[in-house]
Each structure stands twice: as C-alpha cells, then as structure tokens.
Amino acid sequence: MHVGNELAERLYRATDTVVFTSATLAAQGRFDYFRRQVGLLPEFDVEERTFPGPFDYKSQAALVAVPGMPDPNGPGFLPAAAEAVRGLAAITGGRAFVLCTSVRNMLALREALRDLPFRLLLQGERPKHRLLEAFREEPSVLFATQSFWEGVDVPGEALSLVVIDRLPFAPPGDPVVAARLKALAEEGRDGFSELSVPAAALQLRQGFGRLIRSRADRGLVAVLDPRLTTRGYGRAFLQSLPPCPLLRSEDEARRWWEGRPPPP
C-alpha cells in the first residue's frame, strides 16, 4: 500500500544521489503528490526543478472542452460521446486516438462509430505494434484503453486528434486505491484531493502527451467529460496540462485547426 518506507530504507539511505525525472511528475506544477507516493520525507534533502519542454504547446496544440456533454455516469453519455468523436474526426480527417477509461466505453464507442469513413482499429484485435503500423499507413481512428495512454509515439500528421472519454479517476473498487483512501480518511485527510485528483491529473497529462511528439506536430486534444470545466477540481486538471488554447465548441476547434481567427 505504501512503498515509501521501502524506498527510504533500500534506496535513499543506501546511496548518495537519486534523480527522478519525467514529464509527468508535477501535478498543478507541484511535486507534493509524487513526494508522498515515493516516500521523499522532509528529512531528506530534496531539490525540485521544473523545466520548459521543447514544444510550443500554445501554437501546436489546443484543448477542446466539448460543450453540452451529459454526466459521464449517465445513460446519455456514450451516445453524446460518439457524436462528439464523429464531429471532431471530421475536422482532422480521422488520424485520431480515442482513449477510453474502460473496455466497456471503448467497445461501445467503436460500435457506435462503425460507419466512420476511416479505417477503424481496436485495441486487442492485433498486437500493439501492428496496430500502430496500420494506424500510420492511412487516416485511421484507433479505439484504445490504458496501454495506449503512455509509451506510444506517433509523430507527424498520422496522429492529429486525441479524444479522452472521461477524467481518468482510478476505479474506487480497486483494492489498493480503496485501502489508500481509507488510510487517508483514518488520518483525517481528504483522500479525494490528496490522492484521487492528482493521480488522475497526471494520467490525463499522459494521455494529452500522445499528441505532440515533435516540434512539427500540431493537433487537438478533446476531453468529453464535462467535469473538466464544471467542477471546482477541474482546475487541478487544467493546471496540470501544458498551456494551450481552451476551445469550447466544435466550431472553435474547426477554426483553430484551419488557422482561422476566432469569431468576434
């Protein structure tokens, strides 16, 4: 449940220097969550630094908060999500990852969008490397879950749109997550803000990171979960993403993609 003590005894106290580096260590620009997770206690002399990445996200990427989406736990969400994917894929000519937080949503969206005029690929139909090869060959829409949220590199125009169905909160029924939340509650702490939100924010950043893989890349990331902009904790997600324009309609997304200025 807690790896911090093991790391402290077996690693930190047994070596002179440890360097942690990643594009997804800081949630809301801070390292608090990561430090707690890996046991970097106040007794250790820890230096923290953040550095700008090589990409100009303000010009290379835009975040789309699709308006009018129903609650992601409601019955109307998946039909609305399918229509949102349809409209966004038409803007970029396919070339899209649809990243889902569950196999159920992945299969439902793939079925609802079976008539899209692009090659449709589904995680599990063939090995991961074969899916990516097929994705690069022609304009495609790939429906996938967890394993495509990170460690996937598709630079260039082949990937121009990333659609994320829901904010990637860990399932509350997961036994490790449930145990950690219970332990925080017993300490009188807020497990949602200390654990659930920062963990999901870093996972969302991982998904966002699939889009821009070189200085020449350009594209859209769409989040279909309305909680990104309607709930107070949505700010934590926005603050954890690279700085880029926030678009609030399909029309704004199309204008940005075509390089046209927003309407007056």
Note down pLDDT in tens along the chain; length 264 residues.
888 889 999 999 899 999 999 888 888 788 988 998 898 878 888 999 988 888 999 999 999 999 999 999 999 999 999 999 999 999 999 999 999 999 999 999 999 999 999 999 999 999 999 999 999 999 999 999 988 988 788 888 899 999 999 999 988 788 999 999 999 999 999 999 989 999 999 999 999 989 988 888 999 999 999 999 999 999 999 998 999 999 999 999 999 999 887 766
Please state which CATH number belongs to domain 57-258: 3.40.50.300
Q: What is the pLDDT of residue 29?
A: 82
Instruction: Give CB contacts under 8 A, 24+ apart, made by 107-113.
Output: 107/143, 108/78, 108/82, 109/78, 109/81, 109/82, 109/85, 109/143, 109/165, 110/143, 112/78, 112/79, 112/82, 113/82, 113/85, 113/86, 113/141
The pTM for the full model equals 0.90
pLDDT of residue 11: 93
Q: List, by residue range, all CATH 3.40.50.300 domains of the chain.
A: 57-258
